[in-house]
Structure 1
Amino acid sequence: MIPVDQVLTELRKLREHDLPTHGGRTMAYVYDSGLDELDDLAARAHALASSTNGLDPTAFPSLLRMENEIVGTAARLLNGGVGQVTSGGTESCMLAVLAARGDAERPSIVLPVTAHAAFHKAAHYFGIRTIPVPVGADFRVDPADVRAAIDDDTVLVVASAPSYAHGVVDPVTDIAAIAGDRGIRCHVDACIGGWVLPYFGRLGVEFEPFDFTVPGVTSISVDLHKYAYCPKGTSVLLHASSELRRTQYFASAAWPGYTMLNSTMQSTRSGGPIAAAWAVLRHVGDEGYLELARRTLCAVRALRIGIDDLGLRVLGDPVSTLLAVTSPDVDPFALADKMRARGWYVQPQFAFQNSPTNLHLTVTAANHGNENLFLDALRESLADTAPVAVDTSILDGLDPETLTAEQFDALMGAVDMSAGMAAVNTLLEAAPAKLRERLLIEFLGRLYS
C-alpha cells in the first residue's frame, strides 16, 4: 500500500496545475465566499456522511432530515414549493423537463435562445422537441414571441432568472401567465440567481419577480453550490405542489430485487454533499447570506464602473452577478489569454445571433476588495492584446457527420496554440454549430483516452 502522506502529496502536486478556486481569480465554474472556515466545515461534514446512501431515506434518516431542511430553506427563500436536492443545476433542469413531459407523444418545450443548454440536453435525452425563441437587444425574450411559439404539444415553457450568458432576468410574470392560460407548466431556471437575487432585493436592487409568488410558475431550480457557497454538487428543484412533483419520481417493481424508488435521476447518492450543504446553510444563516450578497453587489458595481471606464461594453442590463463584456475594438479571445497570463480566468463566449463574442465574468463575494486588482490586470491586458489571425478555410469541407480522427488530428495540427487558446476559440467560433459540437466531442474523447 502507498502511504497516506505520499498519496496526499501526489494529489496536492496534481492540483498545482488547476485554476485557483479561491481568491476570486477564476470568474467561472467556482463560487468563493471568501470565508476561510467554510471549506473546513464542509469537508468535515462531508466526511461524516460520505459513506451513507440517499437511495433509501428510511435506512439513513439523518439524510432525510437534512434534505428536508435544505429544501425547506430554499422554499422559504423562494416563497413556496416542495422538492429534492439534486447533483447540480443540469439535473434539476432535466428533472423539471422530465416531470413536465409525462406521457406526451410528441412533446415540445418553448425556451428563449438564452436558456441554459441543460434544457437542450434534457430534450436530447428524453425525446423532446425544442422551440427556441429569439431575444431582443436587451437579451430578454418578448412574451408575445413566447405565446406565438407554443404549439399543441408544448408541455413546458422556460424562463431564466437570470440567464447565464448575460445576467438578465426574463419577464417571468408575463411568461408564466401565458403558460398558465394554456394549462402548461412554467419552469424558472434560477440556478445561478435563485439564492442571491432575493438578498439583492433586500438590498434595494429591482428585478422581475420570479418566485412562487408569480402565478403560473410551477417549478424553480436553484443551485446551492453557486451563491449558497456549498460544495459541488448540490442543487434544489422545487415544484409548486406535490402533485406536480409526482411525475419526477421513478418506481420499478419489474425485477426480483428491491422495488427501485428514486426521487432524482440518481439511485445511489452519497450523503456527503447533502451533509456538507446542510452544514454550510446552518453556519452562514440568513444574515450571513445577506452580508455575502452585499459584498458581491459592491464588487459587481465597482467592476461594472471600471469596465465602462476602460471603454469596454457590458451587454444588456444585468441585475445579478454576471457580466458579459465586449468591444468591437478588442479580440475577446486574445484578451482572455492575456488575462489568464496575469492570473485571471475569464470565460470566452462565442457570438450567437445578436450576442457578439464576449467575455463572461461570474462575480462572487471573494471579488469584494480585489476589484482594482482585476481592473489593473484588465487595463494592462488591453494594452497588450492584438488580434489573432487564423485561417478558417481549414474548416472547409469538414462534415460533422463524417468527420474522421485523421481529419481532426490534421485540423489541430494546423492551429498554433503557442500563445494560448485564442486561435482555437477563433476557429471554433467560425465553425457552424454542428461542426463545433462534433469537434469538441472529438476533443473530449481524446482527453479521456
Structure 2
Amino acid sequence: MIEALPSTGVPAGQVLAELQELRTADLPTHGGRLFAYVYDPDVDGLDELARAAYAISAHVNGLDPTAFPSLLAMENALVTSAARLLGAGPGTTAPDVVGSVTSGGTESLILAVKAARDAHPEITEPRLVVPSTAHAAFAKAAHYLRVALDVVPVGPDLRADSVAMAAAIRPETVLVAASAPSYAHGVVDPITAIAAAAAERGVRFHVDACFGGWVLPYLRRLGAELPEFDFGVPGVTSISVDLHKYAYAPKGVSVLLHRDAGLRMPQFFAYADWPGYTMVNPVISSTRSGGPIAAAVATLRHLGDDGYLRLAGKTRDAVGVLADAVEATDGVRLFAPPETTVVCLTTTDGVDLFVLADELAARGWHTQPQLAYAELPATIHLTVTAAVGATAAEFAKDLAAAVSATRDRGPIDLPPALLEAAGALTPAMVTPELIEGLAAGLGLGDNIAGSMASVNSLLNIAPAPLREALLAGFLSLLQRPTW
C-alpha cells in the first residue's frame, strides 16, 4: 500500500523507487508479449524521446490556444498529418478537412455522435445506427448523449451488412457508423456501400478507424488488399484515428476529422451566460495537458513516413507467423481472416478457451479473451504490434504446449451452487455485498492478476446486462480507499 499524502514529505528518489516498485505488478508494456492495451514499436530511444517531449509541455494548458500557441501549432500539425494519411488535403476530393485532438478513441467517438446529434436540433429522438461489431464506445456515447442505439447484426463474414445497415436508417437517424477495422475481429466493414446508403438519405457517416486507421494505409502500400475506407470514399463525413495505437505515441492522443468545418461546428461547446470567462471547447475536456500532444508530435517526427512503413511491414509479418501457428495447432482455429493487425482465434475439440488463455499467461503471453456474443463463440484476441516480430516464432511454440496443457487440465467446472445462484441473478440484485461473496467464492482475494478462467467462464454464461452489472461491481470492489 502506498500513501499519497504522508504527514512529512518523502525524498524524490524514494518516491520514484516506490512508483517503480508498484509497476512491477503490471503486465509488460514492452517485449512483444502483451496482445492488448499497449502498442510497442520496439524502437530504441523512442520512449526517452517521448518522455522528454512530454516534460516540455506537461504544464501547458490546452484550454486557451491564444495563451499557449505552441500547443495550437502542435495540434494542427497532428491533424494535418492524420488528414493527409487518410486521403484528405489539397488535390484530393476532401480538401477542406478539419480536425481536433482528443484524449482517446472513446472521446473521439462521443464527439462524432455529439456533432451529428447537435446538427439536428429539430430531431427530438435522435438515433445512431451501428453494426453489432462496432466498438462499445458508441454505446457509451449513445448512453451519455441520450441517443437511441440501433445495433444491426453483422453477416457471416463478421463485417457490417450494408443492406441491413441501410434498412435501419430512419428519419430520426443522425449518424451511421462502421469500423476500419473492427476491434474484436480485425476486419474492415464495407465502407463504400454503407457511406453511399447514408449519403443517399442525407445522414452523416462516421468511420471508426481508431484502432487501425494509422496502419491500414501502410499495409495497403505494402500490397494488402484492403477495401477503401478513408475520405476518398464519397459519403464519409468523419473519421477517428488513435495516435496512441499504431502511430505508437504515448497514451492518450486521438484525432477526430470532419470533411469540412461546417460539419465540425456542432462538436464545439460554448457558454457565455455566466460572470466568468466565456468557455469554448472543441473537445470534452476544458483543461488539457500539452504533454501527450507534444509526445505525439515527437513520435511522429522521429519515426517519419518511412519508419511507419517499416513498422507496418514487421507487424504484417508477425501476423502471418501467428496465424500460421494457429492453423498448424490442433485444438484452435482462426475465427476471422488475419487481414489487418489482429489474430482472432477460437478453440475446437473441447479445448476450454478460458483455460487456454490462462495457460498462455502462465507462459508469459498475455492475451484478451472475448466472451460469447449472440451466435458468436468466445474468442481470444491478439492485437499484433511491430514488437511481436521478435517474439512471434516463440509464441508459435508455446501455443501448442498451452493447448496440450489445457487438454490435461480439462474445462472449468464451476460449483453447482454458484451456477444456480448465477442463474437466478438479475442486474438489480447485484450489490457490493454480493460481489464480495462472489469474489471470495471464485478465490480471487486480492490477486486480480491470477487465474481468470473461472471468472470468464461465469461471465460467459451470463446475459449481457448481467455481465455489465457484475463487472461494474468487481471494478467497484477494486476501486476503493486503502484505509
Deviations 1:88-132 (A, max 9, x none): 000001100010011231000010000000000000000010000
1:36 positional shift: 1.9
Q: Which amino acid aligns with 1:281?
A: L
Matched, 1:435 2:466: yes
The CA RMSD measured in Å over matched residues stands at 1.1
Give the structure 2 partner of residue 348 of structure 1: 369
3-state SS of the aligned residue for 1:401?
helix
Give the structure 1 partner of residue 333 of structure 2: 313
Give the structure 1 partner of residue 6 of structure 2: none
Q: Which amino acid aligns with 2:52?
A: R
1:416 positional shift: 4.1
Identity of aligned residues (%): 55
Matched, 1:92 2:108: yes
Deviations 1:154-197 (A, max 9, x none): 00001100000000000000000000000000000001111000
1:410 positional shift: 2.5
Match of 2:43 among 20, 35, 42: 35
Give the structure 2 partner of residue 199 of structure 1: 218
- Mapping for residues 113-192 of structure 1, pairs under 5 Å: 113-192=132-211
Matched, 1:358 2:379: yes
Matched, 1:108 2:127: yes
Give the structure 2 partner of residue 369 of structure 1: 390
1:141 positional shift: 1.5
The answer to whether the Cα contact below 8 Å between 1:137 and 1:316 also exists between their aligned partners in 2 is: no
3-state SS of the aligned residue for 1:178?
helix
3-state SS of the aligned residue for 2:195?
helix
Deviations 1:208-231 (A, max 9, x none): 100000000000000000000000
Matched, 1:448 2:468: no
Match of 2:411 among 387, 390, 394: 387
3-state SS of the aligned residue for 1:396?
helix
3-state SS of the aligned residue for 2:207?
strand
Q: Which amino acid aligns with 1:87?
A: S
The answer to whether the Cα contact below 8 Å between 1:187 and 1:218 also exists between their aligned partners in 2 is: yes
3-state SS of the aligned residue for 2:45?
helix
Give the structure 1 partner of residue 24 of structure 2: 16
Give the structure 2 partner of residue 331 of structure 1: 352
| Counterpart Cα distance in 2 of 1:226 and 1:124 | 25
1:321 positional shift: 0.3
| Counterpart Cα distance in 2 of 1:266 and 1:416 | 40
The answer to whether the Cα contact below 8 Å between 1:137 and 1:354 also exists between their aligned partners in 2 is: no
Q: Which amino acid aligns with 1:225?
A: H
3-state SS of the aligned residue for 1:360?
strand
- Mapping for residues 45-60 of structure 1, pairs under 5 Å: 45-60=53-68
The answer to whether the Cα contact below 8 Å between 2:116 and 2:204 also exists between their aligned partners in 1 is: yes
1:387 positional shift: 1.1
1:396 positional shift: 2.5
The answer to whether the Cα contact below 8 Å between 1:394 and 1:411 also exists between their aligned partners in 2 is: no
1:20 positional shift: 0.2
| Counterpart Cα distance in 1 of 2:107 and 2:400 | 39
Task: Extract unaligned runs of 5+ from structure 2.
Answer: 1-8, 89-96
The answer to whether the Cα contact below 8 Å between 1:250 and 1:262 also exists between their aligned partners in 2 is: yes
The answer to whether the Cα contact below 8 Å between 1:112 and 1:135 also exists between their aligned partners in 2 is: yes
Matched, 1:270 2:294: no
3-state SS of the aligned residue for 2:326?
helix
Give the structure 2 partner of residue 300 of structure 1: 319
Match of 2:434 among 388, 403, 407: 407
Q: Which amino acid aligns with 2:339?
A: V
1:314 positional shift: 1.4
The answer to whether the Cα contact below 8 Å between 2:205 and 2:235 also exists between their aligned partners in 1 is: yes
Query: TM-score under structure 1 normalisation?
Result: 0.98
Match of 1:208 among 202, 208, 227: 227
Q: Please, which moves more after superposition, 436-445 or 220-229?
A: 436-445
Give the structure 2 partner of residue 82 of structure 1: 98
Give the structure 2 partner of residue 240 of structure 1: 259
Task: Extract unaligned runs of 5+ from structure 1.
Answer: none
Give the structure 2 partner of residue 219 of structure 1: 238
